[in-house]
Amino acid sequence: MENLYPAPATRAEVQLYSLGESAVVVQFGDAIKRHTHHEVQALSAYLDAHPFPGFVEYVPAFTTVTVYYNPLEITRSPEASPYESVAETLRHMLWQAVTEAEPSASHVIEVPVCYGGKFGPDLAFVASHAHLSPEEVVALHTQPEYLVYMIGFAPGFPYLGGMSEQLVVPRKDKPRLKVPAGSVGIAGKQTGVYSIQTPGGWQLIGRTPLNLFTPHGETPSLLKAGDYIRFVSITEREYERTQQHES
């Protein structure tokens, strides 16, 4: 691993290292924090605006941005490898990205959720584990504005930060083979929404009628990293009305 200069926001060491022959990982520490996320977003935005020759794509995560490149298209000196050339380019870009980034306006999306019953079969377990009533679980879950740290696991699946520590609960011992799209779950310190039907082991507490992923839509994913969401509790009848509107 190569050490870099301190990042302006955190003063923590940023590190670069190779991932195979055609990628560089930029790591902003190892703690999942909002200011780290903002640095990930800043570099991502800078790469969007200033792609370098040979750049292919980038993949943002909780604390890293993985930058993919075509080694055959990298401009370099005879003494430098493609990786060394890209790493040097990123050194210059990184400082500009985190110092010039402008705070983005918070985009808060309300996500309606019908909690419990057939939509949230594990709500009672979560309540029992947390020594709370189901109503208290719902109140705690709908209180924060959750930051979308990244999209992963499945297309459109948001990894969210900001859940109450009181709702921390283990994954299911035996994952379900089919979790319906829209299911809202909790696993460990994380809460998220299943964007498509998929196997999964999170504790399901509710379901949203919103379509988080529409593969043929102009913007397939409803959410993106950097968005904020707020869960809003709705009745089963409200769920059905919204679902009809979505379909």
The secondary structure of the chain in percent helix, strand, coil, rounded to multiples of 5, reads 30, 30, 40
The H or E element containing residue 138 is helix 134-141
> Scanning the structure block, which residue is given the tokens 């019953």?
117
DSSP-assigned beta bridge partners for residue 233 = 113
Q: What residue segments make up the domains of the chain, in order of their start?
A: 2-100, 108-246
In words, the CATH class of domain 2-100 is alpha beta
Per-residue DSSP letter, 101: P
Contact 117, 236 (CB under 8 A): yes
pLDDT tens-place values along the chain, 247 residues long: 444 434 444 445 789 999 999 999 999 988 888 888 888 989 999 999 999 999 999 999 989 999 999 999 997 778 889 999 999 999 889 878 877 766 666 678 999 999 999 999 999 999 999 999 999 999 999 999 999 998 988 999 999 989 999 999 999 999 999 999 999 999 999 999 999 999 999 999 999 999 999 988 788 899 988 899 999 999 999 999 999 888 7
The H or E element containing residue 238 is helix 236-246
What are the E-state strand segments in 33-126?
55-60, 64-69, 108-115
Q: Kindly report the pTM of this predicted structure.
A: 0.80
Contact 66, 59 (CB under 8 A): yes
CA distances to 58, 169, 205, 209 from 246, in Å: 32, 31, 21, 7
Q: Which CATH number fits domain 108-246: 3.10.20.30, 2.40.100.10, 3.30.1340.30, 3.30.460.80?
A: 2.40.100.10
